[in-house]
Chains A and B, each alone.
Chain A
Amino acid sequence: ETGVTQTPRHLVMGMTNKKSLKCEQHLGHNAMYWYKQSAKKPLELMFVYSLEERVENNSVPSRFSPECPNSSHLFLHLHTLQPEDSALYLCASSQSQGQGSEQYFGPGTRLTVT
């Protein structure tokens, strides 16, 4: 596999469920990101990991919990979500977390909370 992959591509969950989103990058990058993209709204940065350490937590509710076990993998653990959390969740990676480092995005997970 090449690039950035995400699983699952689609997820429907109830408000009491617990699920996890998975992201894997095959680019040898050192930084990984989670974004939320809702209809009619800009991409919202949620979390940033650099060299497996969380360096950014953008005031995200605690019902979203990220995990970065190594530089190639990133998870987003979900529990007791709300309907307004329904959105496209995009993972991205970049060579470094700094100037000039473009981000490569995965295909996203389309999440629906019922």
Chain B
Amino acid sequence: GQNIDQPTEMTATEGAIVQINCTYQTSGFNGLFWYQQHAGEAPTFLSYNVLDGLEEKGRFSSFLSRSKGYSYLLLKELQMKDSASYLCAVAGRAGKSTFGDGTTLTVKP
């Protein structure tokens, strides 16, 4: 099975940088996804990592270390609209994704 841990809540200031961590234990690994979910809305895809290292996409970057079972999502130049829940999801055997509880990020002025 899968076990995914991420912090429940984080707070940061507009314009700052925030790092959201995700650790996982998995039987079978086919990549790690990050999704963003605004309150009352559906999750939307942010990033996918299957190899070790950093993937950069604009203000958002995602990092993976398979040997450590660890990933983080880095958000730069925070904006108020970045206030949302960030979901870490691990794709296991047959591509089945297991989601973490999500990290609720609050961006303050």
Contact = CB atoms under 8 A, between A and B. Distances in A.
Interface of A: 4, 31, 41-43, 45, 48, 55-56, 90, 94, 96-108
Contacts of B4: 42
B70 interface: no
Interface residues of B, number: 23
Given A41-B101, A42-B100, A43-B87, A96 B42 contact: no
Contact of B98 (A45, A94, A106): A45
B99 A42 contact: yes
Given A55-B94, A56-B96, 10 more contacts: A42-B99, A90-B43, A94-B95, A96-B95, A99-B30, A99-B31, A100-B91, A102-B48, A103-B45, A104-B45
A45 B44 CA distance: 16
A48 B96 contact: yes
A97 B94 contact: yes
Interface in B60-99: 87, 89, 91, 94-99
Given A42-B99, A42-B101, A56-B96, A100 B31 contact: yes
Q: Which of B31, B42, B101, B102 has the most CB of A within 10 A?
A: B42
A42 B94 contact: no
B73 to A, nearest CB: 14
Contact of B99 (A4, A43, A98): A43
